[in-house]
Structure 1
Amino acid sequence: MIQFRALASGVAGLAACVLTLTACQGQQAGSSGDNTNIVQGSGGVLTVDPEDRQTLPDISGETLDGDELSLADYRGEVLVLNVWGSWCSPCRGEAPSLVAVANDMADEGVQFVGLNLQDRSREPALAFERTFDVPYPSLYDPNGELLLEFPKDSLNPQGVPSTLIVDREGRIAVRALKALTEEDLRAALEPVVAES
């Protein structure tokens, strides 16, 4: 059992390192597998037709504030899941845009959740949230273990920052592998919000 935990911890750490290297150094990942029927947009934003969408894994865990949170609780609402770290410069760049859209669209049934990655202690992440007045919770994933809940070859967040937009049925409609501007986020969200 100890060897398995060590292996799982090592795999999680390796996954987190790969995420760090791919996104925060400005590289863009491509599509997540063959025959996924994913349309690649400009700048690392992928959109998926409703009939081809994959279900978001039922990820749950502890938030930065110490509360329990499950992404399954957001079914029936449009969910924006943003993967970020306090150490990531592009994350700081996109934070005001995420906060503005989260505040503006809360009454339209759009919910936001962060997934904080690789902050070894909570304090830098909590300071980040205070600095940008983040109004939504973030799951705390210091070792990248929650990211391992995404199946291989799924439409998963492959970098930091990355953002998933999940439709009301709990399916991944959009994946952005870049820091989003407010305009980018609104343009990606509007069609998903408009779906009945």
Structure 2
Amino acid sequence: MRLSQARLLVSMIGSSILLSACALQQDVASAPPSGKTGSSAPALSATTVDGKALTVEFRNHRTVLVFWASWCGPCRHEQPYLTQIAGDLESQGVQFFGVDFLDRDHAAAAAFIQEFHVPYPSIYDPDGKLAAAYQVDSPPGKVLVGARGIIVARTDGETTEDKLERLIQAKLLSE
């Protein structure tokens, strides 16, 4: 009798755990945008450094968002290899967008783009509102958004070319 009660108890506990896990699991595609890894990417619609309106579509696109500022030393160090990677990955369906934030000098932002031959559009976010939506506190930062519109990875601070390429391969190109 005790053995069957123990089995029943174990079975009930197992079922409870399974049901709890199912109840807690949510479809991340329907999660509210928060800028955190695993959540939907916040909407990105703004004006670029060169004055053009831009709305970024994340669904069905693999995207790398590059958060930078013209005065940021690590950003200046990273940009040559970011320019190269963006060109290399374009044919594989990876789109890059920059977000220039906390940069009050619009002319300096435009000069940065020209100096480094940045091949992708960069949004001008002088107040850092878009960066805050993506929870990027200071440049540089990279946010990777998968084809379902979900943030799949992020890096805060300066990153090596090798590390970024491996992250893109693992999180964007293998999905």
Which category describes the TM-score, using the shorter chain as reference length?
0.7 to 0.9
| Superposed displacement of residue 170, structure 1 | 0.9
| Superposed displacement of residue 133, structure 1 | 0.6
| Superposed displacement of residue 57, structure 1 | 0.3
Is residue 80 from structure 1 mapped to residue 59 from structure 2 by the alignment? no
Question: Letter of the aligned partner of 1:158 in structure 2?
Answer: D
Count of residue pairs brought into register by the alignment: 140
Aligned with residue 40 of structure 2, among 34, 55, 71: 55
* RMSD across aligned positions (CA): 1.7
d(CA) in 2 for partners of 1:162, 1:148: 12
Is residue 91 from structure 1 mapped to residue 75 from structure 2 by the alignment? yes
Which residue of the partner structure matches residue 163 of structure 2?
Answer: 184
Which residue of the partner structure matches residue 22 of structure 1?
Answer: none
Deviation by residue 1:82-135 (Cα, 9 ceiling, x = unmatched)? 110001001001101111100100000000000001221321011111111100
Aligned with residue 175 of structure 1, among 149, 154, 160: 154
Output the TM-score relative to the length of structure 1. 0.67
Misfit runs of 4+, over 6 Å = none
Which residue of the partner structure matches residue 127 of structure 2?
Answer: 143
Gaps of 5+ in 2: 1-35
d(CA) in 2 for partners of 1:113, 1:74: 11
| 1:114 alignment partner, SS class | strand
Question: Matched residues, percent identical?
Answer: 36
Which residue of the partner structure matches residue 36 of structure 1?
Answer: none
8 Å CA contact 2:131–2:137 kept in 1: the answer is: no
Which residue of the partner structure matches residue 25 of structure 2?
Answer: none
Aligned with residue 157 of structure 1, among 124, 127, 136: 136
Output the TM-score relative to the length of structure 2. 0.75
8 Å CA contact 2:58–2:145 kept in 1: the answer is: no
8 Å CA contact 2:58–2:148 kept in 1: the answer is: no
Q: Which has the larger radius of gyration?
A: 2
d(CA) in 2 for partners of 1:195, 1:165: 13
Higher relative contact order (CA 8 A, sep 6+): 1
| Superposed displacement of residue 70, structure 1 | 1.8
| 2:91 alignment partner, SS class | helix
